[in-house]
Chain A
Amino acid sequence: MFELLGITPQALYGQLLVGLINGSFYAILSLGLAVIFGMLNIINFSHGAQYMMGAFIAWIGLTQVGQWIGDPGFSVSYWTALLLSPLLVGAFGIVIERTMLRHLYKLDHLYGLLLTFGIALIIEGLFRDWYGISGQQYEIPEALQGAINLGFMFLPKYRAWVIVASLVVCFATWYVIERTKLGAYLRAGTENPKLTQAFGINVPLMITLTYGFGVALAAFAGVLAAPIFTVGPKMGADLIIVVFAVVVIGGMGSILGSIVTGLALGLIEGLTKVFYSEASAVVIFVIMVIVLLVRPAGLFGRER
């Protein structure tokens, strides 16, 4: 059947894998946007820039730090970066929330969007100035090099790891928010911040940490992406617009909804590449248009 359409099964599986990987990134990023939106009521436009920062910190750790401290043999490994980079970017996010974003909560939501857009321009511009517009290569860590033979296709180990790691992180986030006491506080704070505070819960601190966490998720995705895509200042900006479309399609009301929508759209994008590659860049936007026509609130959204 595949041969009839002029498509080999290998190409199909290969593109499905790429789709699943893109879908994992859409899922983590839209999850972070949804968590931040739920608590802060802003859309974090700098999410893409923070994803890019995460990837760059990993790359700097691997290739640059050794030269900076005068010991060329020293480098921060992938595994350390996977932990360190989200922490650093998360701390950076917390500083932004404490010094800037918190002054905007009483104003129209749009100001939050505009502020984070400005921050995204600054971050992107700085990295472009420091490391140029072209991308940098990040080597796949030794333990994950090579591929597994699945019988019908070769699965590169690193790609399998990306899918597993992002699914674990997504579902852990879902579990914490929907099934633990901390998550219950968080949901209460989203629903009614004043009442929650009256019960003695430190809501402003919770808001700060939520932003830090959402941003750290973006950085985590960035480190995962570093060995697959080239690490460059533009890597976040184009991705984040697609993620916005994903968020519009899914609606930001549900955590699980964001994860499912992200993965599904990644797969659809991968399939489009196989069957009609010219449309692959726009397919998610076209789906967004259809969803807006049929179900304006989004697949998992509530009208508010």
Chain B
Amino acid sequence: MSRTALGFILLIIAGVVAPWLNIYPTFLMKGWCFALFACAFNLLLGYTGLLSFGHAAFFGAASYITGHALKVWGLPPEIGLLAGTVFAGVLGYLFGSLAIRRAGIYFAMITLALAQMLYFVWLQMKFTGGEDGLQGVPRGMMFGVIDLTNNVNLYYVVFAIFLFGFFMIYRTIHSPFGQVLKSIRENEPRSISLGYDVAKYKLLAFVISATLSGLAGATKTVVFQLASLTDAHWHMSGEVVLMTLLGGMGTVFGPVVGAFVIVTLQNELADKVGSWVQVIMGFIFVICVLAFRRGIVGELMALFRNLYQRPVGLSARQADVKDTKA
């Protein structure tokens, strides 16, 4: 059995068993939402080499649209989730077409600026409720039969949504399309010279990533029954970068680990240290960048490789250098 299959099985077991371990279910659901968000982000950063600093735009937009669809239009949750997700995808197409016109650092600045623009739009529009946000979003009956007001039902729906998104990302990464994305990450000029329309590939990766980020944001609205400006703020964009970096960018399971670590930290620290949470997040950022660039899962995988499969004819140090380049 491959390690990935083992990972999948462990993940599913953990997800199914977790609510019976006396863990606060809302916390778990928050974890899965952010895990999906981070995995969607990782498709772009880890596998295509594009750093978007505006992913909160998609998370927040889907959150507002789903909230509005459920609360004001009274749509059933599955349609509400779909509306938010589709909206995020369309937004991803618009932002993506603009942002891929520049590369590297400019790409990051453009996505950040576009997300900030949207933030001001939400702030001024009437239906978002401004600083208060959309509160008391009803959960409703999924497909007319699953009562989402029951926390256990909701938990498994959220977990199923996560698995669906996670599997989509996994399939994307391991498809021929995903191989092209990786080749763009490694050497863009060469991909162009091989005849790939790089811009098209980047845009499609951006749209997939935005859509699934939207799905995460929409699900989060159903869980917390709240859509607010926090979801669309640039702090949120920074958080998802941190989750991916900490867990291990360019690894399948890294963002899941990173998301749960950060959500746990925020949960544990919020009442103990108050505003120091931001300082601690900043320190984690600095430490990750300086000393820990492969992230938790990346480091574990490197350790595993060094212990069991020392590459022939390549010293461990050279292998290290190769890894950090990715």
Given contacts A103-B290, A111-B293, contact A121 B238 (CB under 8 A): yes
Partner of B108, one of A113, A124, A129, A278: A113
Given contacts A43-B108, A110-B105, A125-B275, contact A104 B289 (CB under 8 A): yes
Q: Is B121 a contact partner of A111 (Cβ separation < 8 A)?
A: no
Write out the residue numbers on chain A whose beta carbons fall within 8 Å of the beta carbon of B102.
248, 292, 296-297
Given contacts A244-B109, A248-B102, contact A125 B276 (CB under 8 A): yes
Q: Count A/B pairs, Cβ under 8 Å.
A: 119
Q: Is B290 a contact partner of A285 (Cβ separation < 8 A)?
A: no
If A104-B290, A113-B51, A129-B274 are given as contacts, then 19 extra A-B residue pairs at C-beta distance below 8 Å, sorted by A number, are A43-B108, A107-B293, A110-B104, A111-B293, A113-B108, A114-B51, A114-B245, A114-B285, A114-B288, A122-B278, A122-B282, A244-B113, A245-B113, A248-B109, A248-B110, A278-B124, A285-B113, A285-B114, A292-B101
Determine whether B112 belongs to the interface, using a CB cutoff of 8 Å to chain A. Answer: yes
28 A/B residue pairs, CB under 8 Å, sorted by A = A42-B105, A100-B286, A100-B290, A104-B289, A110-B108, A111-B293, A114-B51, A114-B241, A114-B285, A115-B290, A118-B283, A118-B284, A118-B286, A119-B282, A122-B278, A122-B282, A123-B282, A124-B278, A125-B277, A125-B279, A126-B279, A128-B275, A128-B278, A129-B279, A248-B106, A282-B121, A285-B116, A296-B101
Total contacting residues, chain B, CB less than 8 A? 41
Determine whether B117 belongs to the interface, using a CB cutoff of 8 Å to chain A. Answer: yes
Interface string of A233-248 (1 = CB under 8 A from B): 0000100011011011
Judged by DSSP, the binding face of B is helix
Q: How far is the CB of A92 from chain B (nearest CB, A)?
A: 15
Report the bound CA distance from A245 to B112 in whole Å. Answer: 9
Q: Is B285 a contact partner of A292 (Cβ separation < 8 A)?
A: no
Judged by DSSP, the binding face of A is helix
B residues apposed to A, CB below 8 Å? 51, 53, 98, 101-102, 104-106, 108-110, 112-114, 116-117, 120-121, 123-124, 234, 238, 241, 245, 274-279, 281-286, 288-290, 293, 324
Q: How far is the CB of B269 from chain A (nearest CB, A)?
A: 12
Given contacts A114-B241, A247-B109, A285-B113, contact A122 B101 (CB under 8 A): no
